[in-house]
Amino acid sequence: MNISKLGNFLRARQPAAIALAAVATLALGGCGGSNVDIASGQDPDPVALNFALVYVKRPVPDFTGQATMNAVDPDARELLPELPGGDVYVRARADSTSAEKNITGVITEGKGDVRDLNVSYDGKTVVFALRKELDPNQELRDPPNWGIWEYNLETDTLRRVIVSDTTADEGHDIAPHYLPDGRIIFSSTRQRQSKAILLDEGKQQFPAQDENRNEPAFVLHVMDADGTNIHQVSFNQNHDLDPSVLANGQIVFTRWDNTGGNDAFSLYKMNPDGTGLELLYGKYSHNTGTKVAPTDPAGSTIEFMKPRSRPDGKLVALIRPYDGTQLGGDFITIDGNGFVDNTHPTLANAGAAGPAQARLTITDVRTFSGPSPGGRFSSAFPLQDGSNRYLVSWSPCRVLQGMNDVPCTSANIMTLQESQPVYGIWVYNASDNTQQPLFVPDDGFMYTDAVLAQATTLPPVILDRVPGVDFDPNLVAEAVGILNIGSVYDLDGVDSAPGGIAAVRDPAQATAAQRPARFIRIEKAVSLPDEDVRDIDNDSFGTTNFMREILEYAPVEPDGSVRVKVPANVAFGITVLDANGHRISQRHNHWLQVIAGEELKCNGCHRTNTMPPEPHGRPGLYAAANPGAPTTGSPFPNTDPALFANQGETMAETRTRLDGTALNPSVNVVYDDVWTDPASAGRAKDASFAFLYNDAEFTTPAPVRSDCITAWQSTCRITINYLANVQPLWDKLRQTVDPVTGLVLTDHTCVLCHNNRDAAAAVQLPAGQLELTSGASNDNNLQVNSYRELLFTDNEQELIMGALQDRTVPGPIDPVTGLPTMVPVTVAPSMSAAGANASTRFFSRFTATGTHANYMSAAELRLVAEWLDLGGQYYNDPFMAPVN
């Protein structure tokens, strides 16, 4: 569609727009003719016209399927797919009379793709991602890779930022953004530091797949302007994308939270070196899109994308679903300084009702599939002149009437299919709600990004932290940071300890047995390779679709506080445990990270049973529930006087300040009462105990390196594979033998009774309808009998004439014969992958009053518990799992 045709289309659309606008119409300037001014009837606008315009022009994909009967519907969670034919164009002035120049065609030859334009602070260069043409039928993840390129407007030169072919081929690089110090932050699958961690773990290097296992995870990296000194700064199991710089010099970006029950794009922020990572906005604001029906209780689901900072400190972001809206959506402003969610203010902004989000436009832009009366936006670039104007890529609403594209009306959008978009470049003035065309595309093309080569105010430079200056160099040498939790009893600022934190921390008021939280476990996701590295069979995961490892254990101090070393450059989660080492918190479904030497502080934990749920992961949302030490120079009440505190310190801070070794975690679960002062508390210290992998009774293979059992290191991993570590517990010989006669007095070997054969190989009914043998299961020959029977519902069996048969009982009446059908009787599993405390049917047998008391040691039961708490996986090491 040429300019004249689009002008006629927009004029025809005006009455419909007037009828559909909720508050006022979108004022459109004249758009016929060959020269389009910014403001019709006014002098040319010098801000828009006197700067070079850089934009992406591409063929319109077949969104409707009319041309190929195979509609294109890109998913925002999949970053490798491309839309071939895209190129970067430059005009010397933002005026349609200025000739356009294709600056990337010599590289793409019109068959590659480009994306993610960003202009430097001095307005002289533009950086973007480019990919050359793929061979027919080539896998998207294979080279040629997406790479970072830079165009210099002054010298009219184009260069690939990473000069070395070898380095460039290490991964796909997209979404570049200039940092105030001249470096570039970008999103990449190269996973520089994560791959180094894999080597430390004894695994081969590979790009870890996202948790949907669709493509490698894109995470944030920083490099110098010449493409050297590349290092990874974010550690997520899913995508971190679209980084940009906030007014204070920090980085804002979109993070795909896709762990557990999550699947959402929210906004996070951090320092350019990766320190200070925290949620910024949107965790519980994803139902704020346009209502599909006026009576819907909430809006449609939207994701927060392409965040950019405005001069006033607010954010501009694109909101849209993952797919179904032709790459477009609506643009909103967000008060990210005052709010963490649409109606949830920060503590400093307490009492503000919100909403934090405000639409930039007043037209009826809809954020769900189907025609959108107000059209849709695909990009917005705030002009840096204080005018509250934006350079936007916008398409009007059109529907298909037969073979023709016609304007949307309130009637035809209910019955007609949405037509192909016509994304052009417009200037939107948010002060007076006017939008005027700058450029409209030629037939079959669209503009999806546009920036002005305009100098902007340089944000503050946040320097990378320096060991020995900002960090303890010993922590950096150990490749660790520190996790500092104020109190696990602090749930979003609410003191949840029995009787209160002040009571449970006082040995005169509470014993250790009266404190619910006793340990924390730090867990990490297992990086999974793509099928070219190892094509893992899905049955290898067992009851889950993920794999997990354990990094460490640490005690929870009486006030619920924790301060402990954790591995740097690893995505990790936190689990709170009881005295048995069983999980009492929900699985942590958001990945944390520390950079080497960094101390990550948080007040406490998070409640999920509120409505709406309470956001977490950002400091300054709630007042701390743990008051800390009441005075300086004195111990906590009724505690060892040698542990003198500073006012406001938590017990963990006091202990680790006085004893640096208390920062060291362990792969074992160990408790010693270091706090109780018998003289002032009026009672003896609590008894010590430990669940050790090197316990004398723990004789089956330990799931961790032997050197880690005696001295924890940042590379230690507890990796539990069912066949290697759990099945041996059932097979282990558990006999007591008369030392004089050599006769077996008792035999509690698990597979002796839980077997379909007795010691003489005769058929028997397994005890408790539970078979714990390692033979291949009839239900799944890639898993053994014991695994299936422990974790899956089974049929009850009975012994009939020397053979085991499923027991059946009369069921529903057969409508044909009129006779009852026979249905099997089912047996519930003894365990649950929901965790040890959800598996009481199993663990209750081993209590002091249970039928299996003392059959297994405490250390062995701890192994079973931690395996179940992780999810009861069949394998937690992809390189031990079978392949397709």
Residue 439: pLDDT band with limits 50, 70, 90? confident
What pLDDT, on the 0 to 100 scale, is given for residue 67?
Answer: 75
Distance CA 509, CA 511 (A): 7
Lowest mean pLDDT among 29-43, 82-96, 335-349, 696-710: 29-43
What pLDDT, on the 0 to 100 scale, is given for residue 136?
Answer: 80
User: Terminal CA-to-CA distance of the chain, rounded, Å?
Assistant: 50
Closest by CA position to 587, among listed 606, 602, 604, 569 = 606
**Which segments within 599-743 are labelled E, that is strand?**
599-602, 634-635, 644-645, 669-671, 689-691, 735-737
Helices (H), 21-161: 46-49, 105-108
Closest by CA position to 805, among listed 821, 825, 820, 786 = 825
pLDDT digit string, tens, across residues 265-280: 999 999 999 999 999 9
Cis peptide bond N-terminal to 307, omega within 30:
no
Instruction: Report DSSP letters for 800-845, one per residue.
Output: ETTEEEE-EEEEEEPTTT-SEEEEEPEE--S--TT-GGG-HHHHGG
Q: If DSSP codes are grouped into helix, strand and coil, which group holds residue 770?
A: coil
Cα dist from 337 to 16, 616, 766, 820, whole Å: 38, 15, 62, 67
| pLDDT score of 500 more than 70 | yes
pLDDT digit string, tens, across residues 315-355: 999 999 999 999 999 999 999 999 999 999 999 999 999 89
Residue 591 φ/ψ, nearest 5 degrees:
-85, 130
* CB-facing half-sphere around the CA of 501: CA atoms within 13 A: 26
CATH of domain 3-452: 2.120.10.30
For residue 255, what are its two tokens? 């993070």
**Which segments within 580-723 are labelled E, that is strand?**
599-602, 634-635, 644-645, 669-671, 689-691
Tell me if 307 sits within 8 A of 335, measured CB to CB. no
Mention every residue, 6+ apart, whose C-beta is less than 8 A from residue 817.
Answer: none
Supply the mean pLDDT for the chain: 92
Other Cβ atoms within 10 Å of 235 Cβ, number? 26
The amino acid that residue 3 corresponds to is I
Distance CA 94, CA 113 (A): 23
For residue 633, what are its two tokens? 């120079």
Mention every residue, 6+ apart, whose C-beta is less than 8 A from residue 778.
Answer: none
pLDDT digit string, tens, across residues 169-220: 999 999 999 999 999 999 999 999 999 999 999 899 999 999 999 999 999 9
For residue 251, what are its two tokens? 């980085």
The amino acid that residue 360 corresponds to is L
pLDDT digit string, tens, across residues 99-113: 999 999 999 999 999
Instruction: Map tokens 């054969």 to a residue.
Output: 757
| pLDDT score of 718 more than 90 | yes
- Angle CA 90–91–93, to nearest 5: 140
Helices (H), 768-834: 785-791
For residue 157, what are its two tokens? 């030169």
Cα dist from 610 to 59, 347, 868, whole Å: 48, 18, 27
Cα dist from 544 to 528, 791, 838, whole Å: 14, 11, 16
Tell me if 83 sits within 8 A of 112, measured CB to CB. no
Answer positive or negative: Cα dihedral of 369, 370, 373, 379.
Answer: positive
Instruction: Tell me the pairing of strands 480-485 and 599-602.
Output: parallel
pLDDT digit string, tens, across residues 228-239: 999 999 999 999
Tell me if 251 sits within 8 A of 245, measured CB to CB. yes
Core vs surface per residue 841-872: b (16+ CB within 10 A) or e: ebbeebeeeeeeeebbbbbbbbbbbbbbbbbb
- Angle CA 834–837–843, to nearest 5: 115
- Angle CA 830–835–838, to nearest 5: 55
Mention every residue, 6+ apart, whose C-beta is less than 8 A from residue 333.
Answer: 310, 314, 315, 316, 357, 358, 360
pLDDT digit string, tens, across residues 390-402: 999 999 999 999 9
- Angle CA 547–550–551, to nearest 5: 130
What pLDDT, on the 0 to 100 scale, is given for residue 49?
Answer: 65
Helix (H) or strand (E) holding 276: none
**Which segments within 238-284 are labelled E, that is strand?**
240-245, 251-257, 264-270, 278-281
pLDDT digit string, tens, across residues 70-79: 778 899 999 9
Distance CA 486, CA 497 (A): 13
- Say how many residues make up the chain: 884
Instruction: Tell me the pairing of strands 303-309 and 315-320.
Output: antiparallel
Distance CA 150, CA 532 (A): 32
Q: If DSSP codes are grouped into helix, strand and coil, which group holds residue 247?
A: coil
Distance CA 151, CA 503 (A): 64
Distance CA 201, CA 803 (A): 48
Mention every residue, 6+ apart, whose C-beta is less than 8 A from residue 298.
Answer: 287, 288, 291
Mean pLDDT computed over 511-529: 97
Cis peptide bond N-terminal to 612, omega within 30:
yes
Residue 478 φ/ψ, nearest 5 degrees:
-80, -5
pLDDT digit string, tens, across residues 547-567: 999 999 999 999 999 999 999
Helix (H) or strand (E) holding 27: strand 27-28
What pLDDT, on the 0 to 100 scale, is given for residue 25?
Answer: 32
Q: Is 39 exposed, middle or buried (0-12, 13-18, 19+ CB in 10 A)?
A: middle
Distance CA 681, CA 592 (A): 38
Running DSSP on this structure, what letter comes out for residue 11?
A: H
What pLDDT, on the 0 to 100 scale, is given for residue 610?
Answer: 77
Closest by CA position to 524, among listed 477, 585, 566 = 566
**Which segments within 480-526 are labelled E, that is strand?**
480-485, 490-491, 494-495, 519-525
| pLDDT score of 358 more than 90 | yes
What are the residue boundaries of the structural domains of the chain, listed by start? 3-452, 473-518+556-691, 745-870
Instruction: Map tokens 């519907």 to a residue.
Output: 73
